[in-house]
Amino acid sequence: MEITGICALCEKEKTLKKSHIVPKFIGEWIRNTSKAEHLRNLMNPNKPEQDLPKPHLLCEGCEGILNKAETPFSSNIFYNYHNGSNRFDYDDWLLKFVISLSWRVGTLYFTQNTYQNSHVHNQLKKALNIWSEYLLEKRNDPGLYAHHLYFIDKDKYSSINSVVLKDYAFRVIDTHVRFSFNGHIIIYNKLPGMVIVSYINPISVRGWKGTQLHSFGTARVGSQKTPPEIPNYLLDRAKLFTSKYLNGLSDRQKVNIKSKILKKSEINNVK
């Protein structure tokens, strides 16, 4: 059934497609490398999923515009990182991918939440408007907002005994708009093995090294640094995710997951 509405990017009335907020290939990678062979949504962990959430958000043309940057990100960054690469050369496609991801997450916030016309929401709207014009090539730059891509160092995390933190760092997708009590606004995107942070207020902070994205450059695993609040926030989110997941998972689903893991292990042993 076709759904007609206003495309969130071009703001024209068109047929809306089901649009992934986080690219489909990332969900496929998690599912294909999972011992349980399914995705789990934190809001309903008892329902195994085959795909990531995809609301009706964009028209076909705008979906194609945003997808252009996904292909080089998947082949040059995501898969190479998980295959052990430590150095990544990039062009303007990486900045466009990161901005498109943060734009989708920020736009989804307004479609899923009721809100007052407050100063912080106006700041978020302003950033999203600038980014949409950049993605549609109506302006040459995405504004002064800082966008950071931090690779989680597998070597450093190998010595950490926390299964909770490791699972969150390398297996979990976590995207949201974060409003702090001090008025700070960021869009936080945690993908498997990497963290993407887009600043809105303030437009940048100190403490990052080797992470801020430009129109071209090189990123290296192990040589990057983040402000202290980022690893602390990772740990807090890991604990929150684990608590919500385990508390929401029924005994029946726990048995099903253990059964699938055992079955897959037996198949692998036969091979």
Q: What is the residue extent of each domain of the chain?
A: 70-248
| Max avg pLDDT among 40-54, 83-97, 106-120, 174-188 | 83-97
pLDDT exceeds cutoff 50 at 22: yes
Question: What's the pLDDT at 225?
Answer: 95
Higher pLDDT, 158 or 269: 158
Which residues, including other chains, have CB under 8 Å from residue 271's CB and lie 6 or more apart? none
Mean pLDDT of the residues in the chain: 87
Q: What is the pLDDT of residues 229-246, one digit of tens each?
A: 999 999 899 888 888 766
Nearest-angstrom CA–CA distance, 135 and 268 = 44
How confident is the model at residue 125, as a pLDDT? 94
Task: Say how far apart CA 112 and CA 252 lie, in whole Å.
Answer: 30
Please provide residue 92's backbone torsions phi and psi, each rounded to the nearest 5 degrees. -65, -15
Which whole-number Å values give the CA distances from 10 to 105, 129, 161, in the listed order?
Answer: 16, 11, 47
Report the distance separating Cα 193 and Cα 156, nearest Å.
12
Asked if the model's pLDDT at residue 9 lies above 70, the reply is yes
| 3 state SS of 163 | helix
Phi, psi for 111 (deg, rounded to 5)? -85, -20
pLDDT of residue 246: 67
Q: What is the pLDDT of residue 174?
A: 93
pLDDT class for 205, splitting at 50, 70, 90? very high
Residue 56: is it exposed, middle or buried by C-beta count within 10 angstroms (0-12/13-18/19+)?
middle
The 10s digit of each residue's pLDDT in 144-155 is 999 999 999 988
Report DSSP state, residue 191. E
Q: What is the mean pLDDT of residues 120-136?
A: 95
User: Would you state the pLDDT for residue 259?
Assistant: 62
CB 100 within 8 A of CB 22: no
Q: What is the pTM of this model?
A: 0.89
User: Residue 271 pLDDT > 70, yes or no?
Assistant: no
